Amino acid sequence: MKKTVTRLADGRELVYYDLRDDAVRDAPDGRPLGPVATTSEIRRDALLGDAVAIASHRQARTYHPPADECPLCPSRDGRLSEIPEPDYDVAVFENRFPSLAGDSGRCEVVCFTSDHDSSFADLTEEQAGLVLEAWTDRTAELAELPQVEQVFPFENRGAEIGVTLGHPHGQIYAYPFVTPRTTLMLRSVREHRAATGRNLFDDLVERERTEGGRVVLDGRHWVAFVPYAAHWPYEVHLYPVRRTPDLRGLDDAARTEFPQIYLELLKRFDRIFGEGEPPTPYISAWHQAPFRAEGRHDFALHLELFTIRRTSGKLKFLAGSESGMSVFINDVPPEAAAERLREVASE
């Protein structure tokens, strides 16, 4: 992998990740951009203890542009975009409309490929491996920022999820606090350790592999399963067999196998509802340990992949119980979801 760091016209950082060591990335950003103006503010909910980002400047962000005006495509034929080069492998840049900025954290956009009409599932194993290296490198870089407590790489795919740019891409949020979801996980891990002397994540993965009924893919270095208490109609958790707190700790064997396992999962997601159905909308979320939290080394890196589509043509909406009280009601039994995901394996 070759890494090239440069700047956009307004001073935002842009990083190219290339498969070829001889790649040259020196095209300047020719756009007449003014400085980025953000209004990000973190407010604390006194009742729940949650942090809420207030970012009114995001109302002006790009919204469903036509394909020939996509800001994530390369700059070609006189049309300038966020990527000055006429082609690229993987590109990461600071979001011009960030939810978090300055002392309130940082937001980055990760472009998986220059091909606008592609998706992550269409990448080769080599390309998917390069994205993993980019996620890992960004985690390492952002960990050095004094205001950052936790790094969250994720992908939203599909208009139903709320995606406003069709180009295959994800994002990275660098939070200045430990997120509520991670705080709950860490609490459960501490309680389990106190009660049993064992690691909760290790016990959870061992249980799923032993019982087997919810396992979707079981490789030498990764295991994917539908969780026992899945919140979403089709939800898969992907764990490295050797526990590590974040992406930086993956060994070479796990890095090599990851593209095989993950690409197969994404392809199966697109087959869940049968031929002729539109691509399955999903959220793919990396859960990493906070950098300075108590119990960090008991945390287990894992990826959670889920869709809000519950059956053909129908979505799972978060209504009263889910949105009002955070109590999920799942219409698809986890065992049935796992069985379906095994049925649609690649030939």
Pure H helices in the chain: 125-143, 180-196, 200-211, 252-269, 325, 334-343
Residue 109 phi/psi, 5-degree rounding, is -105, 135
Give the residue among 218, 230, 184 at the shortest CA–CA distance from 337: 230
Query: What CATH number does the domain containing 148 carry?
Result: 3.30.428.10
Tokens of 204: 């959870």
- Rounded CA-CA distance 249/224 in Å is 19
CA-CA-CA-CA torsion sign (91, 95, 101, 105): negative
Please identify, among 175, 198, 224, the residue that sits at the C-terminal boundary of a domain: 175
Helix (H) or strand (E) holding 284: strand 282-287
- Rounded CA-CA distance 11/34 in Å is 9
Q: 64 and 50 in one domain? A: yes
* Residue-level pLDDT at 282: 98
Note down pLDDT in tens along the chain; length 347 residues. 999 999 999 999 999 999 999 999 999 999 999 888 888 899 999 999 999 999 887 766 676 788 789 999 999 999 999 999 999 999 999 999 999 998 999 999 999 999 999 999 999 999 999 999 999 999 999 999 999 999 999 999 999 999 989 999 999 999 999 999 999 999 999 999 999 999 999 999 999 999 999 999 999 999 999 999 999 999 999 999 999 999 999 999 999 999 999 999 999 999 999 988 899 999 999 999 999 999 899 999 999 999 999 999 999 999 999 999 999 999 999 999 999 999 999 87
Q: 195 and 105 in one domain? A: no
* Residue-level pLDDT at 229: 97
Tokens of 255: 């890095």
Q: 111 and 139 in one domain? A: yes
Q: Is 156:268 a contact under the CB 8 Å cutoff?
A: no
* Residue-level pLDDT at 39: 80
Question: In the chain, how many domains are there?
Answer: 2
Q: Is 287:305 a contact under the CB 8 Å cutoff?
A: no
Q: 198 and 171 in one domain? A: no
- For helices 252-269 and 334-343, the axis angle rounded to 10 degrees is 90
* Residue-level pLDDT at 34: 87
Please identify, among 155, 175, 195, the residue that sits at the C-terminal boundary of a domain: 175
* Residue-level pLDDT at 249: 98
Q: 200 and 156 in one domain? A: no
- Rounded CA-CA distance 37/96 in Å is 9
Please identify, among 175, 195, 224, the residue that sits at the C-terminal boundary of a domain: 175
* Residue-level pLDDT at 208: 97
CA 208: distance to chain centroid?
23
Residue 313 phi/psi, 5-degree rounding, is 75, 5
296-299 long-range contacts, Cβ below 8 Å, gap at least 24?
Answer: 296/245, 297/245, 298/186, 298/189, 298/190, 298/193, 298/199, 298/200, 298/201, 299/182, 299/185, 299/186, 299/189, 299/201, 299/245
Q: Is 173:149 a contact under the CB 8 Å cutoff?
A: no
Q: 17 and 150 in one domain? A: yes
Q: Is 329 exposed, middle or buried (0-12, 13-18, 19+ CB in 10 A)?
A: exposed
In the set 169, 192, 221, 287, the catalytic residue is: 169
- Rounded CA-CA distance 46/48 in Å is 6
Q: 185 and 170 in one domain? A: no
* Residue-level pLDDT at 37: 80
Q: Which domain, by its residues, includes 89? A: 2-175
Q: 244 and 170 in one domain? A: no
Q: 233 and 86 in one domain? A: no
Tokens of 59: 């109302």
169 flagged as catalytic:
yes
- Residues contacting residue 74 through CB under 8 Å, at least 6 positions apart: 81, 83, 85, 86, 87, 88, 114
Q: Is 305:265 a contact under the CB 8 Å cutoff?
A: yes
Q: 286 and 148 in one domain? A: no
* Residue-level pLDDT at 125: 98
Tokens of 109: 């956009």
Q: 157 and 199 in one domain? A: no
* Residue-level pLDDT at 60: 64
Put simply, whether the predicted model's pTM sits higher than 0.85 gets the answer yes
Residue 204 phi/psi, 5-degree rounding, is -65, -50
The model's pLDDT over 253-278, given as tens digits with 9 standing for 90+, comes to 999 999 999 999 999 999 999 988 89
Q: 204 and 65 in one domain? A: no
